[in-house]
């Protein structure tokens, strides 16, 4: 992007910051562009935003982009996982407490809302709010005031709320498990992010972006082999952009030369690959045994990758689930060059 230097230094810095914040959002597919088109407009306002989309579609990244494009950018962006807001500690977590408010309150402590003062409070997995938490949050949104535990003085809460969910919240409202009044307060603006399988044009640009981001030091020249690109496009990505990022992290560390090959990505190949089947059939190695071996290899690779993903790289748990002893299971992993380390803490 070319900047014409006009206006004050602050406005130039602000525009640069905007561009950088948006630059991290890779994607040009029509479905994605349509979803994020209102972002600059939404960012300028103060209204609550509800971001929906399957797991790994970029909800938190979009929430951050809204914050950093907003006039609140210089103040904190505070993420809170609603599943962790337990009823017993709810008010304490949200509003904080004064010293001596309860037996263990040895010092005064700010809550999440105070931490996000003048900034943005990001309520992730909002569908997990208990009925009590929904009432408390509704009151915050209506009154914009909070009362810390043990305090007699209410304080104004200057915070913008952005919520996210991968659950069908509108259906939960219909079913009576999520308050309708809270739902409508939350979704003044609704941004629905498409799954990656509906924006296949973005797969390769995203993969190249992640390759740059995760290339090991000194190996920034890594490229993705054309056959690997084809496989990336053909795959359905149930875990969306996060799953793609994890595949590229694996690829970047496993690849031998400067080219990331299909095997390095560790993609589960559950569906028979008709293209390679056809090419094997047309070659001289189309014996029954060769085909059977190929199918077994494909099965072993996808089975092991799925299992390791499920157990977060824990070999003992994965081996026991597979009904194999740990040593033999380890040998299988080695045979397919699957490194358990690449499955630990993959939720980035
Ligand atoms: N359009 C994008 N451009 C670049 N990176 C992206 C994009 N979308 C998602 N990512 C990256 O993919 C990963 C997952 O994104 P994010 O955590 O925002 O997803 P999410 O929708 O909040 O997932 P979940 O529902 O599981 O919490 C992050 O590392 C994020 O930076
Ligand atoms: Mg998230």
For the record, the structure tokens of 310 come out as 């499920």
Q: What gap in Å lies between CA 127 and CA 93, rounded to an integer?
A: 18
Q: Whole-angstrom Cα distance, residue 118 to residue 60?
A: 19
Query: What letter does residue 145 receive in the DSSP assignment?
Result: E
Q: Which of 51, 60, 196 to mutate to test the pocket of ligand 1 (most atoms within 8 A of CB)?
A: 60
* Main-chain dihedrals φ then ψ at residue 189, nearest 5 degrees: -110, 135
d(CA 49, CA 122): 10
Are the C-beta atoms of 123 and 162 separated by less than 8 Å? yes
CB 15 within 8 A of CB 69: no
- Backbone phi, psi, residue 121, to 5°: -100, 120
Mean pLDDT score, 228-246: 95
Average pLDDT over residues 289-295: 67
Contacts of 88 (CB under 8 A, 6+ apart): none
This prediction's pTM: 0.74
Residue 237 phi/psi, 5-degree rounding, is 55, 65
42: Cβ–Cβ under 8 A, 6 or more apart, which residues?
Answer: 49, 66, 189, 191
Q: Which range is least confidently modeled, 12-16, 124-128, 143-147, 223-227? A: 12-16
Which residues, 6 or more positions from 343, have their beta carbon under 8 angstroms from its beta carbon? 308, 309, 311, 312, 313
Per-residue pLDDT for 298 more than 90? no
- Residue 59 belongs to what H/E stretch? helix 59-69
Tell me which of 59-73, 110-124, 152-166, 329-343 is least confident: 329-343
Q: Which-ligand-closest: CA of 63?
A: 1
Weakest mean pLDDT among 51-65, 274-288, 293-307: 274-288
Nearest ligand to the C-alpha atom of residue 60: 1
Per-residue DSSP letters for 281-315?
Answer: HHSS---HHHHHHHHHHHHHHHHHHHHHHHTTT-H
Centre of ligand 2 to C-alpha 64, Å, is: 11
The reported pLDDT for the residue numbered 310 is 77
Cβ 174 vs Cβ 182: under 8 Å: no
pLDDT, residue 286, reads 53
**Residue 79 DSSP SS3:** strand
| Residue 296 half-sphere exposure toward CB, CA atoms < 13 A | 8
Residue 39 has pLDDT above 80, yes or no: yes
Substitution candidate for ligand 1 out of 61, 192, 194 with most atoms within 8 A of CB: 61
Q: Which residue has the higher pLDDT, 310 or 340?
A: 340
| Cα-Cα-Cα-Cα dihedral sign, residues 327, 333, 337, 343 | negative
**Cα(130)–Cα(136) distance, integer angstroms:** 10
Q: In the chain, what percentage of residues exceed pLDDT 70?
A: 85
* Residue nearest ligand 1's atom 24 by CA: 55
80's CB contacts (< 8 A; 6+ apart) are: 93, 112, 121, 122, 123, 124
Question: What is residue 126's DSSP assignment?
Answer: G
The ligand minimizing its distance to the Cα of 25 is 1
- Which amino acids bring their CB within 6 angstroms of ligand 1? 24-27, 53, 55-61, 166, 206, 209, 241-242, 245, 348
* Nearest ligand 1 atom to alpha carbon 32: 1
pLDDT at 64 over 90: yes
Q: How far is the CA of 294 from the centre of ligand 1 (A)?
A: 34
All structural domains of the chain, each given as residue ranges with its CATH number in brackets, are 9-194 (3.40.50.300), 197-263 (1.10.8.60), 268-348 (1.10.10)
């Amino acid at each position: 992007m070319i900047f014409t230097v006009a206006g004050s230094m602050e406005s130039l810095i602000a525009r640069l910051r905007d561009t950088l914040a948006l630059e991290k959002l890779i994607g040009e597919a029509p479905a994605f562009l349509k979803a994020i088109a209102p972002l600059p407009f939404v960012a300028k306002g103060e209204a609550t935003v509800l971001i929906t989309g399957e797991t790994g579609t970029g909800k938190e990244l979009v929430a951050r982009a809204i914050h950093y494009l907003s006039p609140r950018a210089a103040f904190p962006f505070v993420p809170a996982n609603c599943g962790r807001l337990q009823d017993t500690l709810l008010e304490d977590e949200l509003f904080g407490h004064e010293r001596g408010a309860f037996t263990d309150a040895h010092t005064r402590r700010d809550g999440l809302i105070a931490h996000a003062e003048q900034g943005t409070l990001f309520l992730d997995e909002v569908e997990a709010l208990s009925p009590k938490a929904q009432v408390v949050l509704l009151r915050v949104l209506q009154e914009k005031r909070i009362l810390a535990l043990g305090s007699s003085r209410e304080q104004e809460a200057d915070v913008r709320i952005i919520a996210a969910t991968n659950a069908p919240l509108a259906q939960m409202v219909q079913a009576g498990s999520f308050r309708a009044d809270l739902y409508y307060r939350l979704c003044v603006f609704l941004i629905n992010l498409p799954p990656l399988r509906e924006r296949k044009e973005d797969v390769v640009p995203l993969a190249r972006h992640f390759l740059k981001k995760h290339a090991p030091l000194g190996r920034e020249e890594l490229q993705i082999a054309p056959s690997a690109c084809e496989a990336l496009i053909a795959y359905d990505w149930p875990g969306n952009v996060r799953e793609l990022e994890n595949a590229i992290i694996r690829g970047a560390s496993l690849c031998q030369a400067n080219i990331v090959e299909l095997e390095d990505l560790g993609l589960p190949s559950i569906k028979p690959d008709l293209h390679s089947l056809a090419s094997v059939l047309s070659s001289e190695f189309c014996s029954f045994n060769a085909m059977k071996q190929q199918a077994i290899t494909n099965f072993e690779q996808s089975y092991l990758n799925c299992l390791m993903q499920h157990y977060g790289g824990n070999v003992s748990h994965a081996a026991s689930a597979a009904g194999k002893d740990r040593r033999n299971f380890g040998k299988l992993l080695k045979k397919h060059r699957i490194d358990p380390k690449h499955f630990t803490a993959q939720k980035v």
